Amino acid sequence: MALDQSFVGRTYPPTAPYEVGREKIREFAEAVGDPNPAYTDAEAAKALGHPDVIAPPTFVFSITFKAAGQVVQDPQLGLDYSRVVHGDQKFAYTRPVRAGDRLTVTSTIEGVKSLAGNDILDIRGEVHDEAGEHVVTAWTKLVARAAEEA
Amino acid sequence: MTAKISYTDVEVGTELPAQTFPVDRATLVRYAGASGDFNPIHWNERFAKDVGLPDVIAHGMFTMAEAARVVTDWAGDPGAIVEYGVRFTKPVVVPDDDQGALIEVSGKVAAKLDDNKVRVDLTATSAGQKVLGMSRAVVRLA
């Protein structure tokens, strides 16, 4: 079923703050096998000009994708999540995410398209810190594959 | 931000050191836990095959994270990345054996931009297939 085009431009309320923990950053860096000391050693991060350890560039996706759940699970939109695959992902950073950040995400539906029976959803997540300053924007394209012919 | 590579030292066509990243089932379980993405297509072969996949596949975001390392290891400071985007074109299929899969990533400077920034275009393949498309990072160099 084609998604409702009138959802384009819809913005969802900001999420409750996500507090970025240094051990969560370490766990993520270890999971991707990245030994860069900027992720685990505050002194190494400071030597690069950061106030504390920073997170790998894609770390924030866990936070923005959880926020996108508001969109994906919106019963009014009617997306079939069991058929969803990740199409594209992009980030634009004002600064890296770092330990101690309290981040909120505001999700907006940027596009709703149907192409050859596939539903394509573009979601933008704006990530701000506790001071209201922009940290990063994440763009996520989700594709709900057309159901197979019975 | 303190990149260790100087803008004046790179040209369009400058190649970044290529890297190969191994991924096996244990890697995926660990990434699932760290990222919170517990979709069973990344750890349950029966489920993956039921939804039409050849086998368990790696998280796209895992591949995106590995590809970024070619840029962050080169630049020195991961905070030097200004933009980073990919298209997930083919899945990285991870068999349940002692080898798992390999993700091979290379990159080169595709454009010199203003404000000491460069655009790096990345190529990521696994089992001879291109797994990322339009994979680009904008990095601010020293």
A58:B68 CB<8 A:
yes
Q: What is the rounded CA–CA span in Å between residue A91 and residue A88?
A: 10
Distance, CA of A40 to CA of A58 (rounded, Å): 16
pLDDT > 90? residue A24: yes
pLDDT tops 70 at residue A150: no
Q: Which residues of B touch A96 (CB under 8 A)?
A: 78-79, 81
Query: Could you give the number of structural domains in chain B?
Result: 1
Closest residue in chain B to residue A92, using alpha carbons only: B83
pLDDT of residue B1: 61
- Is residue A1 very low, low, confident or very high in pLDDT (cuts 50, 70, 90)? low
- Report residue A146's pLDDT band, with 50, 70 and 90 as the boundaries: confident
Per-residue pLDDT at A147 exceeds 80: no
pLDDT digits (tens, 9 = 90+) for A89-132: 999 999 999 999 999 999 999 999 988 889 999 999 999 999 99
pLDDT for A54 beyond 90: yes
State the average pLDDT over residues A23-33. 98
Integer angstrom CA distances of residue B73 from A86, A141, B24, B115: 26, 27, 22, 21
Q: State residue A5's pLDDT score.
A: 86
Q: Contact at 8 Å (CB) between B75 and A77?
A: no
pLDDT greater than 60 at residue A3 = yes
List the CATH number of the domain containing B101. 3.10.129.10
The domain in which residue B63 lies consists of: 7-23+59-140
* Structural domain boundaries in chain A: 5-21+60-144
The ranges of chain B with pLDDT < 50 are none
Q: Which residues of A touch B68 (CB under 8 A)?
A: 56-58
Query: What superfamily would CATH give domain A5-21+60-144?
Result: Hotdog Thioesterase (3.10.129.10)
Per-residue pLDDT, A90: 98
Q: Residue A59: is its pLDDT beyond 80?
A: yes
B17 CB contacts (<8 Å, ≥6 apart)?
B70, B73, B74
Does the beta carbon of A87 lie under 8 angstroms from any beta carbon of chain B? Answer: yes
Indicate whether B43 belongs to any domain.
no
Which pLDDT band, with edges at 50, 70 and 90, does A28 fall under?
very high
Burial group, residue B26, by CB count within 10 angstroms (0-12, 13-18, 19+):
exposed
Query: Quick count: other Cβ atoms within 10 Å of Cβ B115?
Result: 8
- Which residue in B2, B98, B136 sits closest to A45, CA to CA? B2
Identify the CA nearest to A3 among candidates A121, A110, A147. A121
List beta partners, residue A136. Answer: A93, A127
Is any Cβ of chain A less than 8 angstroms from the Cβ of B68?
A: yes
